[in-house]
Amino acid sequence: MSLMTRITDRVGLGWRPKLAAGILSNLDRIDIVEVIADDFFNAPRRERRALRTLAAQSPITLHGVSLGLASSVPVEPKRLDQMARLCAEVTPVSWSEHLAFVRGGGVEIGHLAAPPRTAATIDGALANLARATTIVGVAPQVENVATLIDPPGSDRDEATWVSEIVRGSSCDLLLDLHNLYANALNFNFDPVDFIARIPAESIAAIHLAGGKWIGAQGARRLLDDHLHDVPDPVYDLLAETAARATRSLTVILERDGDFPAIGCLLQQLDRARQALAHGRARMVDEAEEEAAA
């Protein structure tokens, strides 16, 4: 079987209530829909029924935002039970969570924070991922996060830290390319080198998004706000990833607000498909060159 016949990439969109009409009327151009799982943990029966209806119409993937798996603190079983129940109810093709900590010492951070990149948080993440896999029944895909602050106390770089977690767990990687792009610009490293260093065989999913620059001149950082279109360099990183990833990829465009017309989002999905095709063609060329050598 040739390389490309084994690979079926798909490209989809994150479900947001304000995009519902646009998504439902364009399911022929959206291969998969990603749903924020936490929005449905305590949702009324009517909303969960609507989610089941969506799942019957389109493949869906569930995305968690509040488990806080990359922490030395054990994840609460109650939160995992909620994810397990939702997975059983809608049978997604996959589920995912962030490599972040979201609370500590009783303080809710209210966002995904990058933990110190140390052996302790790797051990904590591996223990939490094992708990999550046991309770939910399926291993989550784990996502790299964007950070405005260089995580204090870190003793290794992000590529090393993420790779150690992926290699030490049974989890695939959800590679968020805008998070990677933002971190690379904010902390001065090469995102292509990052992609080359993470285990290519573990990359199963991709997130695309946009952001904006914040801060005063000389102290600016790129904020991953999901309120802007995907910038060109992120499509280049998608092509780069597609040239290296050995498995089929699920690519999701995340947009959380300042919604453009659905046509604009569909165009971004098409650009993602073009970038994937470009990267996959490069992968075939390189494989053929290697075979001929």
Point out which residues bind other proteins (CB under 8 A): 71-73, 101, 103-111, 113, 115-116, 118, 120-121, 124, 147-150, 152-153, 186, 214-215, 219, 221, 223
Residue given tokens 């922490």 in the structure block: 71
**222 - beta bridge partners?**
213
Q: Which tokens is 130 given? A: 């094992």
- Contact (Cβ atoms closer than 8 angstroms) between residue 58 and residue 32: yes
DSSP class of 115:
P
Q: Which is nearer to other proteins, 155 or 286 (CB)?
A: 155
Q: How far is the CB of 7 from other proteins (least distance, A)?
A: 38
Rounded CA separation 126/69 (Å): 8
CA distance linking residue 237 with residue 7, whole number of Å: 19
Q: Which two structure tokens, joined as six digits, stand for 153?
A: 């106390």
Shortest distance in whole angstroms from residue 61 CB to other proteins? 24
Question: Could you tell me the smallest distance in angstroms from the CB atom of residue 67 to other proteins?
Answer: 15
For the CB of residue 220, give the shortest distance to other proteins in the complex, in Å: 9
Partnered with residue 34 across adjacent β-strands are: 14, 61
Nearer to other proteins, 89 or 123 (CB): 123
- Minimum gap (Å) between residue 13 Cβ and other proteins: 22
Contacts of 165 (CB under 8 A, 6+ apart): 70, 99, 122, 125, 126, 129, 142, 171
CB of 61 or CB of 186, closer to other proteins: 186
Q: How far is the CB of 186 from other proteins (least distance, A)?
A: 8
Q: Given the complex with other proteins, which of 12 and 151 has the nearer CB atom?
A: 151
CA distance 219 to 278: 36
* Rg (the chain; Cα; Å): 19
Please identify, using beta-carbon distances, which residue of 31 and 176 lies nearer to other proteins: 176
Between 110 and 292, CB nearer to other proteins: 110
Minimum CB distance to other proteins smaller for 110 or for 261: 110
Beta-strand relationship, 10-14 and 101-104? unpaired
DSSP string for residues in 152-218: TT--S-HHHHHHHHHHHSSPPEEEEHHHHHHHHHHHT--HHHHHHHS-GGGEEEEEE---EEESSTT
Query: Which residues make beta-bridge pairs with 63?
Result: 36, 96
Task: Tell me how far, at minimum, the Cβ of 46 lies from other proteins, in Å.
Answer: 15
